[in-house]
Amino acid sequence: NTGKLWGGRFAGGPSPELDALSRSTHFDWRLTPYDLAGSRAHANALHRAGLLTDADHAALLRGLEALGERYSAGTLLPDPFDEDVHGALERLLVEEVGADVGGRLRAGRSRNDQIATLFKVFLRDHAAVVAAQVLDLVDALTAQARDHLDVTMPGRTHLQHAQPVLLAHHLLAHAWALLRDVDRLKDWDARVAADSPYGSGALAGSSLGLDPEGVAAELGFTGSTANSIDGTASRDFVAEFAYVAAQIGIDVSRIAEEVILWSTKEFGFVTLHDSWSTGSSIMPQKKNPDIAELARGKAGRLVGNLSGLLATLKALPLAYNRDLQEDKEPVFDSVDTLEVLLPAFTGMVATLTFDGARMAELAPQGFSLATDIAEWLVREGVPFRIAHEVAGACVRRCEELGIELDQLSDEQFAEISPALTPGVREVLTVEGSVGSRDGRGGTAPVRVREQLAELTAVVDGH
């Protein structure tokens, strides 16, 4: 049939079973605009090398453009017998401009350098989309932090009350993690941009005097690959993208888990907006954090895509092997998963209502000011080992009496240690505790305001 890119050395056509196994158009068709852009750049390189007449070159460009228009209109479709996007587009180009002209384009290139190149361009485009979406989530977290600069809450370690913190400080912790993911996407992009594989051919490079640097520049790369085997055989750029996608999923899932906990009756820290939560088909009262749960679930899926891909790449000999076709579906899935998840998640975060009074009420409970007593003693000249013991004794006494630390009388403090003069009360409020943690990176309001400005500057730099 006319859709095959090979066949000269075969007596008969492939079996239908082989065709069914080999076919990839059902997932790689979305690469069409990228393949066409690569073909345009390649046609230009052939023309520059003197391998295409002006007329043939112009005809090819017109044909490629026509295919692009049909694709945008949704009318360009592969046939069932097309093996992959590359073969289908060559068939369609030949139908468009005739076999003599259309048949010249494949000179000096292989699907191996083609796919490696256009998958890079595709992922670079989506890395930019995902980075912008992550920045939107950072904005939503930052806005919530800015709106709640005076709200205190129980900071936790081991999920137990640890020390009071500002809600804004907690929210910004998530924002910083997400900003590192945006950095990772940018680092990744710079590495990928330097390495256009076009010109590598199947594995050994081209004898046709083509101009890989020119093709690279035309496709938005900053350089072309130094090694044609590496150019066609390596997929670490795919694995690295899948890792960053998984890391974003994991960072989002950590926020998700907190939203799920915080929206329970027991916590009562947040209420979800009606438009960003779901109901139950049987229990009329339910309001469920489905977006957060889907985020938590999809993080697992993103990790799965990464591990599947690494398993495909492990021990694969150089250069191209057909196994590499398996690199697409998992990463397409990671891209699609994030691009649908992030906007919903951002909407949920942006519309959360926090119960500041509830959070503040719980902030000092569970003896979360014990560290403040110990550090106050240190400032009074007591060695920390002793201060820790004394503060621990205060907690024990409170547990016996069923009271909180600030309810101990002056006499009870003095009984525990003469160093515990009434001055200790200045740190036995949540505001005193939070305000005292004013070293860089601390939760003191003055520091958190600075942090907000610092983070906003980083966001603005992206």
- Contact residues for ligand ARG, defined by CB under 6 A: 24, 84, 111-112, 115, 320, 322, 324-325, 328
Which pairs count as long-range contacts for 204-209, CB under 8 Å and 24+ apart, including other chains? 204/228, 204/229, 206/108, 206/109, 207/108, 208/46, 208/49, 208/51, 208/107, 208/108, 209/49
The number of angstroms, rounded, from the C-alpha of 64 to the middle of its chain's C-alpha atoms is 33
* Closest CB to ligand ARG among residues 87, 364: 87
Q: Which residues contact 39 (CB under 8 A, 6 or more apart)?
A: 60, 64, 89, 93, 105
The answer to whether the CB of 223 falls within 8 A of the CB of 195 is yes
Number of H helices, E strands in the chain: 19, 4
SS3 of residue 308 by DSSP: helix
* Closest CB to ligand ARG among residues 124, 235: 235
CB of residue 22 to ligand ARG, shortest distance in Å: 9
Cα gap 350→136, rounded to integer Å = 10
CB of residue 325 to ligand ARG, shortest distance in Å: 4
Cα gap 359→42, rounded to integer Å = 61
- Is 334 designated active site? no
List 15, 158, 275, 281, catalytic entry: 158
CB of residue 109 to ligand ARG, shortest distance in Å: 12
* Closest CB to ligand ARG among residues 109, 447: 109
* Closest CB to ligand ARG among residues 324, 408: 324
* Closest CB to ligand ARG among residues 27, 176: 27
* Closest CB to ligand ARG among residues 19, 257: 19
| Tally of CB atoms within 10 A around 53 | 12
CB of residue 70 to ligand ARG, shortest distance in Å: 21
Cα gap 233→215, rounded to integer Å = 19
List 22, 72, 273, 280, catalytic entry: 280
Structure tokens at 374: 């110990």
- Is 280 designated active site? yes
Alpha helices in 194-289 (DSSP H): 212-218, 228-233, 236-262
SS3 of residue 108 by DSSP: coil
CB of residue 35 to ligand ARG, shortest distance in Å: 11
CB of residue 320 to ligand ARG, shortest distance in Å: 6
| Tally of CB atoms within 10 A around 311 | 10
Q: Which amino acids are annotated catalytic?
A: 158, 280
